[in-house]
Structure formats: C-alpha cells, structure tokens
Amino acid sequence: MPNAIVTGGSAGLGRALITELVSAGWTVTTTARTSAALAEVADRLGERVRWLAGDVADPDHRDRLVRLAAEAGPITLLINNASELGGSPQPQLRDLDADTFARILAVNLIAPLGLINAARPWLAPDAVIINLSSDAAADHYPGWGGYAASKAGLDHLTATLAAEEPDRRWFAVDPGDLRTAMHQAAFPGEDISDRPLPETAVPAFLRLITNRPASGRYRAAEVA
C-alpha cells in the first residue's frame, strides 16, 4: 500500500491533498499544530489517516512523525507543505525582525530538509519528494522578502537533492494563488474569493506523483 507523509494537513492544500491521496488508496501520516483540526480530518477520512500534532520546526516532533509513518511501511511520498508566512500584513525587509525571519526559515527551509533526512531510513529508493514553493520564490513583491527568500532557498535545496540522488523524484511545486487561510493572511482585509480553491491544484500534484517527470521546479497550472 502506498505510504505518504504530508505536513500542514489540517487545512487548505494539505487537507485537499490528503483527501485525494486517501481516495486513491494511500495511507497518509500528517501533522499540524492544531489537534482538533487534525482529528476532524482523520475522522472524516478514516483509518488510513494517521496524525500527530506538533511543530515541524521541532526535530523531536519530526522524528516522532516519521516513526509513526514508518509503521505503515516504506515511505514512498513526502510532501513538505507546512509553511510560515511571517506576519499579517507581512513587513517590508527593513522591518523584518530577526526572530520572525528565523521562524520563517525554520519552518519553510530547515524543517523540510530535516524531515527528509529523518525519513531516510524508511524512505523508498524511488520515493517522490515534493516541496511547496511559491511564485514569490522567482518574482519579487514588496513585503514578501522573508517568505520569498525561504522558498527560493527551498527551490535550490530541492534541485541540489535531485542532483545528489537522481533515483528519486524531487519536485518544487508552485501551487499558484489559492483561496486558503494563509493566502488570506497575506492580504488582510481583501476579498480573495476570486482565487481558486486548493482542490483545483491537487490534480497537478497527482500527475507529478504518477507520471514521475524529471525532477525540477513546476507550476501547478502548467502541469494541469
């Protein structure tokens, strides 16, 4: 049975991905910081969802998460979806304090590599690893500097891992602007109802997982 880890699974894109993976026969282990929301996801989707509340920036939590996932067998898919925005509204770089920037990097850049490395003893030789990127990693928007720097770093990390371990598939995926709580936090007070729901991006992820194109950076809209 295919076995996945998906971080940030309590809402938004993470929850949408888990829903489709379970429908396709996957066992999914997920995490977020809110127990109640994770429990709701598991109650709705059934016994193939395992969950552990906690902070992906905590190495001990990452280790516990991986051990929980490994109970279901080799890990064949790992999706680093959990992300930290860094304030609402986001500050310009001259106002970005060191602690906030450190938190952004801890969640968006250090934690994904830490989780990958923690999973190595149980990671299948041909596993697919997806790291959530952003258009901000490639373009430049006022107020997005801290978040963008973390995602640009994650893109580079993904490409380097692909060069070092070519038997696996390493994807950095920009899902596009979606109607999520984090996107609303990025635009406080604005109406984001024109953005597509996160479920609309899921088919692109499934195509990457199933078709296994060359490792690299992909935009969900182009894959779809």
What is the number of other CB atoms lying within 10 angstroms of the CB of residue 109? 21
Phi, psi of 7 (to 5 degrees): -85, 160
Whole-angstrom Cα distance, residue 11 to residue 146?
Answer: 23
The catalytic position among 133, 150, 215, 218 is: 133
Asked if 83 is an active-site residue, the reply is no
- List the alpha helices (DSSP H) in the chain: 12-23, 35-45, 59-70, 98-105, 111-119, 145-164, 181-186, 202-211, 220-223
Whole-angstrom Cα distance, residue 122 to residue 116?
Answer: 10
Q: Give, for 79, the enclosing helix (H) or strand (E).
A: strand 75-80
The catalytic position among 10, 147, 150, 218 is: 147
The catalytic position among 134, 150, 215, 218 is: 134
Q: Going by C-beta distance under 8 Å and a sequence separation of 6 or more, which residues neighbour residue 127?
A: 74, 75, 76, 77, 78, 168, 169
Asked if 23 is an active-site residue, the reply is no
- 8 A C-beta contact, residue 21 and residue 6: yes
Asked if 134 is an active-site residue, the reply is yes
Asked if 147 is an active-site residue, the reply is yes
The catalytic position among 150, 151, 215, 218 is: 151
Catalytic amino acids?
133-134, 147, 151
